[in-house]
Structure 1
Amino acid sequence: MKFRRRAGNVAREEVFLNLTSMIDVIFVLLLFFVVTTTFSRPTQLKIDLPEAASGEPNEAQANPLELSIDETGQYAVNGKVLVKNDLESLTNVLQQESNGDTSMPLIISADAKTTHQSVVTAMDAAGKLGFSHLRMTTVESSAGK
């Protein structure tokens, strides 16, 4: 669109654009984003397991079931190494070794460098079978002596 200029000394009208409503909307959006934004800092934990400064020594119970996990995640039940390291194999071996008696204590001895997933898988297998007496073996820390 082309406007013609008028000849003469006619004062030009200034065009005024009301920006108040647009500024209000922008401030509301800014406030919304500030309130709903969450800032998270990734944290790194240095954990040296398994050590415990307190605890009670294991009282002697007849024939506890012992589950050992080495640092590579290899399982052994009562000294017998499992061929497969999956949940199903571990569940079957625990069922056979306990003869269906889930009231006996299950002692889980995991290496300090084993993956957390290996320990959780062992606890999951025990939970599926109904074991209620789980123990985690630790060594007493030198600070606790």
Structure 2
Amino acid sequence: MRFRSPQSEPPEINLIPFIDVLLVILIFLMLSTTYSKFTELQITLPSADAEKLKDRPREVIVGIAADGRFVVNRQPVEGRSVEILVTSLRQASGGNTEASLIISADAATPHQAVVNVMDAARRVGLTRVTFAAQTDAR
């Protein structure tokens, strides 16, 4: 009797389960990774690449200096409280709540000064608020 030696088949590597495991790991990493932290942000404001807007008759322009002083339609505002800003905005808008408010703040302006202007605008009823920015000098 002649016995044949068993033919050994070359081993196969099944890639389908391997790919499934890699996809699960990839999804897990995508969901658990933090891409940015607020402490690591490097922000330089304001600058924008936009066209110059046309002058509109129903707009109120509020300028905010780096030290927190306010100017409403080129008239200096005495004081820095929200109540004084409300009075100035009400006079500048003429009671028109459809007027646009343009906030033109210095890049080094304290955040609280901008928030005060937005709060005063809300109290007056000015809902159309825009922030002015300069174009990049390229």
TM-score tier by shorter-chain length is 0.5 to 0.7
Deviation of 1:130 after TM superposition, in Å, equals 1.3
Deviation of 1:48 after TM superposition, in Å, equals 1.4
Match for residue 45 of structure 2 among 42, 46, 49? 49
| More off after superposition, 73-82 vs 59-68 | 59-68
2:105 corresponds in structure 1 to: 110
Deviations 1:83-135 (A, max 9, x none): 11011110111011211111111111000110111111111111121112211
2:86 pairs with 1:91: yes
2:130 corresponds in structure 1 to: 135
Structure 2: where are the runs of 5+ without partners? 1-36
Measure the CA separation in 1 of the matches of 2:87 and 2:121: 11
Measure the CA separation in 2 of the matches of 1:43 and 1:136: 24
Please tell me the residue identity of whatever aligns with 1:48.
T
- Residue pair 2:58, 2:93 contacting (<8 A) in 1 also: no
The sequence identity of aligned pairs, in percent, is 34
1:10 corresponds in structure 2 to: none
Deviation of 1:43 after TM superposition, in Å, equals 1.4
Instruction: Please provide the CA RMSD for this pair.
Output: 1.8
Structure 1: where are the runs of 5+ without partners? 1-40
Measure the CA separation in 1 of the matches of 2:123 and 2:64: 18
2:63 pairs with 1:72: no
Q: In structure 1, the residue corresponding to 2:39 is in which secondary structure?
A: coil
Please tell me the residue identity of whatever aligns with 1:97.
A
2:121 corresponds in structure 1 to: 126
- Residue pair 2:66, 2:107 contacting (<8 A) in 1 also: yes
What TM-score comes out, normalization by structure 1 length? 0.63
What TM-score comes out, normalization by structure 2 length? 0.66
What stretches of structure 1 move > 3 A for 4+ residues in a row? Answer: none
Deviations 1:53-108 (A, max 9, x none): 3x443133114211000000100101111111011110111011211111111111
- Residue pair 2:59, 2:93 contacting (<8 A) in 1 also: no
